[in-house]
Every structure is written in structure tokens, then in C-alpha cells.
Structure 1
Amino acid sequence: MTQLLEKKNGDVESLLQKEAASLDKTGSTGSGVESETQFDHQKTSKELVGGDGGGLENGLDHRLEHGMDSNLDSDPHGLDHEPDGGDSSEGGDEGSNGPESHRPNISYSREYLLILVIISAQLMTQASVAQGLSIGREIGLHFNTTDAGQLSWYVAGFSLTAGTFIVSSGRLGEIYGHKNLFVIGYAWLFVFTLIAGISSYSNSSIFFSVCRGLQGLGCAILLPNGLAIFGMLYPAGSRKNIVFALFGAVAPGGFVLGAIFSTLLAKHRWDFTFYVGSIVCFLLTIAAYVIIPNYENKSNHDRQPFDILGALTGIGGLMLFNVAWNQGPVVGWSDPYVYILLILGVLLFVAFGIVETRVSHPLVPVSTMKSSTILILTAVACGWACFGIWLYYTWQLFTVLRQQTPLLAAVEMLPALFGGFLASGAAAFLFPRIPVSVLMAMALVGFCVPSILLATNRVHETYWAASFVATVIAPFGKCFGDLPPAAWALPQTPLCSASQSGLDCGGSNNCVFYVSNFVAGMDISFPAATILLSLSVPKESQGIAASLVATVVNYAISIGLGIAGTVVRYTTPGTDEQSLLNAVRYSAYLGIGLSSLGLIFALIAVWQDRKNLSRPH
């Protein structure tokens, strides 16, 4: 430890000497400029030594304990290193110290457009989820089908591909360029959103479900590469916190807006919502190509090989595991093919773990993961599973038990939009001031409280008594909860036992699972997780960091809904009002248990942090 600290001290002293030399050069330009430069120099020095207190040694130790020392090793310029390839011709105060060094080397107007284009990937993902969930019954009527199994795939098909291909898409972005993959993602989403609308003329529900799955693949390409672009363009600092917080903040709004516009357009023709969505994606494709700077200049010799065997075993395991938990609540776990798929999925996961420890360039660097990272990821998984259950069964409470229209149910979710932005702002403010493990514990409380309110809710109780409060609080779980792992969120597979027990999810619990994603945008956990993992991996591995968290979030939601569906199927299979209310309450109890388990993991992480900080050096 002493040798490592001495090495870090030498790196920092060297950097400070360079800064001092630059001060001497700028001294002749005037006292005003000199004073400002000295202030920036002092601020940079304070950041490098770990904050406001503790001295140089304690500051460096703090960074070491949080797994961020690799950034100093790999980046001789420290935290204020600017990404290569910025478009300096666009203006802005390029090359200055202080706050300017924490933003891309582009003009402010272009930076704001870049942020808008990238966070729109999250917004369009959640809006696409809402397309299948909010008007699933209308689409089924068009195709002359009311079978819950077929209707469920309007959402499940999207979630299956959106969650399964995230890690591979992030890795491809590291090889071929995150901007290239991001543009391809928007183009792909444009094409298959358009085809999904045109499928109304095919009279084939299966073809429409396939189109939905291909839509999800576009989102799987967009999310990790968009987050990786943020991670590479923004060094550690307040601006990085803000952009990651904004990425999480738009998730609830994307789902709400998607649900509202889908239900409004469906009053005329349901395929109009897909035509409008395709137009938006087309415009975003052009905007992404023009606005995002070409900051990556990798030659063919610099590209690392793609882990094909890891991709095959990982994707195969994710898909089989997903389908098993999706179908189990629908057809029953006594059906042999369900548990056979589950066993095969587990075996492929084991094979994936073995492969990743033996290849030179793994998809997921399993061997280098720290125990604190695993604790936080586990806590995030528990929290998001709880949130997915809460969101899905809250939707069921609104539309089934209270007999509300999908449009009214979507409007009643509007407080989540404002709560999401508030939570994201709080997350951005608290990130540099409170340990991530503490924020994660706060997030788990935010996940748990809405489930408690749902469990005690009554069918004919006024919306303002509990449902409104829960909808406002829920985004705080996501915002703080995603905090630790590393910025990745996205929806996934649902549960489908509600249909069997009488709950009408517009086709399936899968639909609800998707809703869960929408609010799952709970905005604190997302940016927190994103930032932590982003800082814990080398700059060139930002795509993998984002991909890993997004996969964890998606599958946590999916499996949580699958477990809840199983509980409902075997404990309260009736279709009367009391049985349906019991289904909502029993699932809420499960959510409370999951969030409490996650809170335990988060508290263990808090204890580890305090233990490491108090350890003598």
C-alpha cells in the first residue's frame, strides 16, 4: 500500500508541476487571468487529492478504495483529460482549465444537442415499450387474437432482444466505434418500427411479434453505446453526473408519453403510433450522425478480437433463461419444456463464466470484478426486480380492478415523470458528496416504500391517498438505486401468470414487465450505477460497463415478474375481485422482500466502505 501511495504521489506531483509551469507562462497575461488560473489550479489539485478533506494521502486512499485508481494509471492527464477527436472548430472555450475541462471539446450548442440526441435513446426505448403495452389489446383485436400467450409477446418479444443483446452491442461498439453503432441503432429502430406499423396489412400476429423483437434489438444497440459515448466524452466531474442523471430522468417520461400518444392515436388506427415513431427515429438517425463528434480513431491494428464463444453462450443463456421465466407463469412449471429451457439456460451461464475467465478479451471481465461491485450489482438487481413488480401490478390495479382506461392509467403515472427529474437532480447533486453505497441503501428504501403502499392499497381508495404518493416516490429508488453499478437501464421480460389468474395485462404480464421498465427508470439508481462502473473501468471499456448494468436491470425486472407470476398462479388463482386484489398484494409482499434483501446487500457495502476507510495505512 505504501509503495502504491508513493507512486500515486509521484504522479500527482508531476501533474502539479506541469500545472505550475503553465501558471508561470500565463502570468504575463494579466492579474485577472492569473488569478482565475490559480483558482482552477487549486481546484484541480483538490480534486486529485480526493476532495475537501483528508490530505493527499487520504484522498488517494479514498480513490483506491473505490476502485478508481486505474483511471490515474491509464490517464497521465488525470481526471481532466479531454477526449481525442473533438471538433474544436465548433467554438467553446477549448483548452481552458477548471470547469471547461469537464466538458467535450465542442461548442455549447452542439453539446446540448448531443445530450438531447443520446438521452432520446432512453426515451424512445421506453416509448417503444409503451407501444406494445398500452394498446396491446387493440392490436390483438386487429389480428383476431385474444390468446394471452400471443399478446404477451407484443411486449416480451421487444424485451427479450432488448435485454439479451446489450452486452454484445456494447462490446461491438468498443471494437468498431460507439458512434457508428449508435447511428446504426437508430437506423435499425427506424426500419423495424416502420415495418411493425406496415405489418397491420399482413394479418399476422406472429409477424408483428417478430417485428417487435427486431425493434428491441435496435434499442439494445442504442443504450450501451449512448452511455459509453457519455462516459468517454465526459471526464469525472459534475457535468458527467448531470448527463448520466438526465439519461435516467427521461425514462419515466418516455413511457408516459409513449403510452399517452399510443392510446390517442389508436383511437383512429393503432399502426399510426408506429409510423410516427419511425419518423422520429429517422430524424434522430440523421441528428446522431451529424452532431456526435468523431472522437474514436481506431485502426484495424488497434481493434481487439470479438469474443464469439462468449457471445454465443451468453446470449443463448440469457434467451433461454428469459423464455423459461416468461412462459412458466403462463403454462405452468409442470410443463417439461419450461424447466428444460431453464436448466439449459443455467448450463450456458456456467459455460459463459468459464469462457470469460479464459479468453484474452472477454465480453465481461469477470475475473477483475471486485466484491464491492458485485454487492452493488446484486442490490440493484433486487431493487429493480421490486420496482418492476410494483409498476406492473400498479398498472393492473388501475386498469383491471379500478376499471380505468389505459389513457387514464398513463395520465396517473405522470407524477413519475416529475419525480424522475427531481430524483435525477438530487442524484447528480449527491453523487460527489455521499458514498455510492449509502446512496444505494437510500435507493432500496425508495424501492421498498411504493411496494408497502401498494400492499396496503384498497380497490376503491382515492388515487391521491396512496397511489399518487407511491408514483412520486418510486423514481427515487431508480435514481439512487442504479447509482452504484454503472449506468445502465433498460427493460426486459415480463411475467405472465396474471393472465392465468384473471389479471388482464392487455395481453400478458409481459406487458407489465415493460411498464415496470418505464418507471424503472427510477432515476437515482440508474445514474449512480452508471457513474460508479464508468469510473471503475478503463476508458476504452465504457461500453461494457454500461452494457453490464443494463443487462442486470433488465433481467432483474424480468425474473422478478416471473417469480411474482408464479406466486400469483399458485396462491390466488381465482378471477373474482378478492382473488385479483390478493394477487396485487402478494406480489407487493414479494417486492418488499426483494427490496429488503437488496437493502441488506447495500448496508454490507456501506460497512465495507467504512472499514476500508478506517483501515491504517
Structure 2
Amino acid sequence: MATLSLQGQETASQHTKIPPPRHGDDLGSAQTTEDEYVYIADGYPMIRRIIFIMAVCSSMFTNQSGLSNSITTLELIGESFGVTDPGKLSWAIAGYGLTLGTFVLIGGRLGDEFGNKAIFVLGMGWLALTSMMAGVSVYSSYPVYVLARVLQGLGPALTVPNALAIMGKCFSQGPRNMAFAWFAATAPIGAMAGFVFGALFAMTWWPWIYWSQALGVSFLFALSIVAIPNTPVEGERKQRRTIRETLDRIDLLGGASGVTALVLFNFAWNQSLVTTWDEPYVYVCLILSFLFLAAFFYIELRLARYPILPVAVLTSDIAFVFGCTAAGWSTFGIWLFYAIRICLNIGGQTPIQVAAWLSPILVTGIATALVVGKLINKVPASSIMLFAMVCYFLTSLLMALRPAHSTYWTYFFFATIIATFAMDSSLPAATIIFANAVPRQYQGMGSSVVMTVVVYSISLGLGFAGTIELQINNGGRTEADLLRGYRGTLWFSVGLTAFGAILALIFLLKDHRRRKLAEKRGREGG
């Protein structure tokens, strides 16, 4: 589902000729001269390379499967705890996205400082433990289950950005592009695995959704230790640092204030679905989130020696990127969650039927990821972004207009196909625009920043949509009331994507004008 391209990510240190580190390569590839293996994986035999790519791409697979394995089974899980309130149920999805979106950027920074492989392996181990906790929560309570889901999101937040960094450091330009294409292609595979196995295990006993996930991730944890090499270490990092220097480099104050702001803001919106805004602590959290956000900007602009987010270099181009990405991906979370709710609660479909209905993403997602990987250097990123936003708009419109009892081969089928075009074209476009808009030393964080916007927007979009649903569904006492609330959220997604498409069009015109001026200056200079 998600195409992540890291064009221009290489830093100067990656171009230097340094000997490969000792990494316990049990699966093959001899090391000979100092200059031969600047990019470690370039010298791997084909089998060794495939195993390495599989291990790294498993981060996107587990990320997507961890999200999708709970979407179609929420009502069943809630019933086992005696929970039917939609606001409480949505926390199982929003909580996962909350920690994932909040800690992606920090996960990338930790990898830069302490080793990408070490943080990747740590993330896999954490995901395995918290997946086991989610299953064991059947013996406890719903809050414990939600807590486990929230903690699960931290695993992909550590693995995904470091997976991208590992491939960027281990492959040279040509092999790297293909590796990134396969990384993107594992997203729809992971999503479908989550939909299918989530539904199948729910037919027996829902804790096995998470226990099976824990077993699978444990295997990937072991595979990662063996198959992934230690990434090259820059000369500066070889020097011994004091604790103070290390804290400065990871921007502890900036990271803490930013995380607190994001968590409080998201918590306020999603918790309002449970307690409503009548509870003082909900809007107090909202107010505090703005205060911590102000503190974050002050720290990044004035105090941080190594800012986790270079606020000072953010431009209008990046503002367009953030706006389009947030609008598109928040609507993705909305239409996926609520279109499935309509199928399960009104249309009468079963979780396994819904999984079958979503199966085209397996083909179109992989194909689109590979095609976009080929086209991304030939078509302006601004044009690709507009195409993506138009696809988001069409998907949201089809889902909003779809009659609850319509056949699959009309609205739902075409909306699913178009959605894969949107997702697999918006992310590489956003990453390239970001890379082109900031100085070279900040390009390496492009994918982490964009990924933060993506997954945080999904979680926050569900909070906004849930508020709308509860305001217009008259308590959801009848099927008509439920449908009214669901439709309201889908029309909200239509409005968001229309706004995103307008932003993308403005940016395209701005980019076109800039290119014309550059060509004119070039002719005059020549």
C-alpha cells in the first residue's frame, strides 16, 4: 500500500571508501578489499540478497498486517469484553496508529545514533512481546487490550525507518531502487495477510490473531539478527561521546516535547468519542498539546544543536506536501474503517468476505508500487501528487455514494482499485518533494518525516471522523442511524480529499511556473 522512495538520501559519509564492518555474515559473501564493499549488500550472492531483502521488508509487512488484522474483527473482540461503544472500539486502531506515527521520526534518529540494525531488531522483539500481550489480554480487560495495541505500534515505529536506512546504506543506487520497490510491494501483501488471517483466527478464538502474530514476528526477530548486517559506521560516531553529547545528538528535549504534544492532541480527539467534550480533562489535554507544540518549535529553533526536525528549513513546498499527505492518508483511514463497518454491520458481510473484497490490493498494490518506482524519476513529483489526490477523492466519493446493499462489482471494487493508485503514488511524490525542498544534510530524514505524517494522520482522522459520527447518528440505536453516522464520516473524507486535491493543483501550478522561470533563465544565461 505504501511506496517509500529515498531518492537523494545518501549522505557524504556513505560515499566515502570505508571497509565493511564485521557483521557475522553466516549466509555467504566473502570480503576482500577495502574498497570493494562500500555498499555491503552489492556483493551478496543472489540467495543471500533475497534473504536480506526479505528480512528488511518484513518491517513493512508486519506494520500493515498489524493494522489490518484488527479492523474486521473489532466488534467480535469488543463483544468478548462486553464493549460495543464505537468510540471505545476505535481506540484499538487509533491507538496503534498513535504510537506508530508519534515515534517514527524518533525511531529513525535512534537508529542513526545507536545502529540501525540494533534498533530494527529491538523493534521486532518489542512487537513480538506486545503481540503476545494483546492475546493474553483476553484474560484481563478491554483497557489492557487497548494498551497492548498502543504498545504494539512502537514496534513498527522502530523497524520501518531503520529498514529504509539499512537498505539505503547497504545498496548502491541501482539495486537500492529495486529494493525500495519490493519494500513498498510488501505493504499490500502484509495488509491482505492481516485481513485474511485476522478473519480466520477470529472464527476460532480471536486471541490467536495476536499469538500467531507473535510467533511469526519472533521468527523474523531471529532472521533479522542473522540476515541483516551492521550498517557502516561514520568516522564521527567512532569517537567516544559523553552522555551529554549523546543526549544532544538525539535531541531529547525536542523529542520529548514533540511526542507529548502529538500524544495529547490525538488522545483528546479520540478520547472525546468515549467521554465527549463535557469532561474537563479532554479539553485540558487539547490545550496542553498546543503548549507542548509551542515548546517543541522553540526548542527546535533556538536550543537544539541537532534538531530532530529542522523547523528552520521548512518551506512552503513542504507545507503543501504535509497538507496533501495528511488529507489523503487521513481519508484512507476513514474510508477503510467505515466502509468495512458498513459491510459488517449493515451489509451483512462476514470478516472473511470483506477480506476477499479487498483482495485486489494484492495485485494492484504490488504492480503500482513497481510501476511508480520506474516512473518516479521521469514524471514531475508535483504531477504525481495531483494524480494521487484525485484518486483519493474518487475513492472517497465512491465509498460515500455506495448503497449499503450494493453488489461488490460496482462501487467497492473500483474504489479499492483506485485507492491503491493513490497510496502508492502519493508517498514517493511526497518524499521527493521533501528532499528537493531542504538542504542535503536533511534529506535523509525525508521518508521518516513523511511516514510520521502518514500514520499520525490515519489515527487523527479516525478521531475527527468518530466525533462526526457520534454527533449525527442519534446514538446509533437503529440501522438507519448507524448508516447515517457512517455516511457522515465518508462525506467528511470527500471534503478532506477535495481540499487536498486543491492544494496539489496549486502546488503543481507553482512548480510549473518555477520550471518555466528556470528554463527562461537557462536560455538567457546560455
- TM-score band, normalised by shorter chain: 0.7 to 0.9
Query: Which residue, 448, 451, 458 being the options, matches 1:557?
Result: 458
How far has the Cα of 1:433 moved from its partner?
A: 0.7
1:262 partner letter: G
1:246 partner letter: W
Structure 2 CA distance for partners of 1:75 and 1:189, relative to 1, 3 Å: closer
Structure showing greater Rg? 1
Distance in 2, Cα, partners of 1:153 & 1:556: 14
Distance in 2, Cα, partners of 1:94 & 1:468: 54
How far has the Cα of 1:534 moved from its partner?
A: 9.5
Question: With structure 1 as the length reference, what TM-score do the two structures score?
Answer: 0.74
Is the counterpart of residue 231 in structure 1 residue 168 in structure 2?
Answer: yes
Query: Which residue, 595, 600, 614 being the options, matches 2:497?
Result: 595
Shifted more, 357-366 versus 566-575: the winner is 566-575
Query: Which residue, 382, 392, 414 being the options, matches 2:327?
Result: 382
Are the equivalent residues in 1 in contact too, given 2:64–2:188 (CA < 8 A)? yes
Partner of 1:446: 391
Partner of 2:470: 569
Is the counterpart of residue 171 in structure 1 residue 123 in structure 2?
Answer: no
Are the equivalent residues in 1 in contact too, given 2:382–2:508 (CA < 8 A)? yes
Question: Cα deviation per residue 1:517-539 (whole Å; 9 max; x = unaligned)?
Answer: xxxxxxxxxxx67xx64996657
- What SS does the corresponding residue of 1:484 show, helix, strand or coil? helix
Partner of 1:323: 267
Question: Cα deviation per residue 1:264-286 (whole Å; 9 max; x = unaligned)?
Answer: 12322222222221111111111
Count of residue correspondences:
500
2:45 partner letter: S
Structure 2 CA distance for partners of 1:82 and 1:475, relative to 1, 3 Å: farther
Structure 2 CA distance for partners of 1:382 and 1:144, relative to 1, 3 Å: closer
Are the equivalent residues in 2 in contact too, given 1:534–1:546 (CA < 8 A)? no
Higher relative contact order by CA 8 Å / sep ≥ 6: 1 or 2? Answer: 2
Question: For residues 355-394 of structure 1, what are the structure 2 equivalents within 5 Å?
Answer: 355-358=299-302, 359-394=304-339
Question: Cα deviation per residue 1:167-203 (whole Å; 9 max; x = unaligned)?
Answer: 2111111100111100111111112222332333x33
Question: For residues 28-427 of structure 1, what are the structure 2 equivalents within 5 Å?
Answer: 74=12, 85=21, 90=29, 104-200=42-138, 202-237=139-174, 239-297=175-233, 298-301=237-240, 305-358=249-302, 359-427=304-372
1:386 partner letter: T
Between the two proteins, what is the percent identity of the paired residues? Answer: 32
Partner of 1:436: 381
Partner of 2:3: none
- What SS does the corresponding residue of 1:483 show, helix, strand or coil? helix
Distance in 2, Cα, partners of 1:349 & 1:466: 41
Unaligned runs of 5+ in 1: 1-66, 487-527
Question: Cα deviation per residue 1:553-587 (whole Å; 9 max; x = unaligned)?
Answer: 12222222222223333334354344333333332
Unaligned runs of 5+ in 2: 1-5
Distance in 2, Cα, partners of 1:458 & 1:158: 30
How far has the Cα of 1:311 moved from its partner?
A: 1.4
Are the equivalent residues in 1 in contact too, given 2:19–2:35 (CA < 8 A)? no
Are the equivalent residues in 2 in contact too, given 1:127–1:258 (CA < 8 A)? yes
Partner of 1:508: none
Distance in 2, Cα, partners of 1:480 & 1:83: 37
- What SS does the corresponding residue of 2:366 show, helix, strand or coil? helix
- What SS does the corresponding residue of 1:305 show, helix, strand or coil? helix
How far has the Cα of 1:209 moved from its partner?
A: 2.5
1:560 partner letter: G
Distance in 2, Cα, partners of 1:70 & 1:245: 15
Are the equivalent residues in 1 in contact too, given 2:20–2:34 (CA < 8 A)? no
1:559 partner letter: L
Partner of 1:514: none
Structure 2 CA distance for partners of 1:157 and 1:599, relative to 1, 3 Å: closer
Question: With structure 2 as the length reference, what TM-score do the two structures score?
Answer: 0.86
Structure 2 CA distance for partners of 1:175 and 1:92, relative to 1, 3 Å: closer
Structure 2 CA distance for partners of 1:281 and 1:101, relative to 1, 3 Å: closer
How far has the Cα of 1:235 moved from its partner?
A: 4.3
Distance in 1, Cα, partners of 2:8 & 2:448: 22
1:554 partner letter: V
Question: For residues 492-503 of structure 1, what are the structure 2 equivalents within 5 Å?
Answer: none
1:452 partner letter: L
- What SS does the corresponding residue of 1:353 show, helix, strand or coil? helix
- What SS does the corresponding residue of 2:249 show, helix, strand or coil? coil
CA RMSD, aligned part only? 3.2
Are the equivalent residues in 1 in contact too, given 2:98–2:456 (CA < 8 A)? no
Distance in 1, Cα, partners of 2:86 & 2:515: 53
Distance in 2, Cα, partners of 1:392 & 1:139: 15
Question: For residues 468-479 of structure 1, what are the structure 2 equivalents within 5 Å?
Answer: 468-479=413-424
Partner of 1:517: none
- What SS does the corresponding residue of 1:133 show, helix, strand or coil? coil
- What SS does the corresponding residue of 2:250 show, helix, strand or coil? coil
Are the equivalent residues in 2 in contact too, given 1:249–1:421 (CA < 8 A)? yes
Are the equivalent residues in 1 in contact too, given 2:124–2:218 (CA < 8 A)? yes
Are the equivalent residues in 2 in contact too, given 1:71–1:535 (CA < 8 A)? no
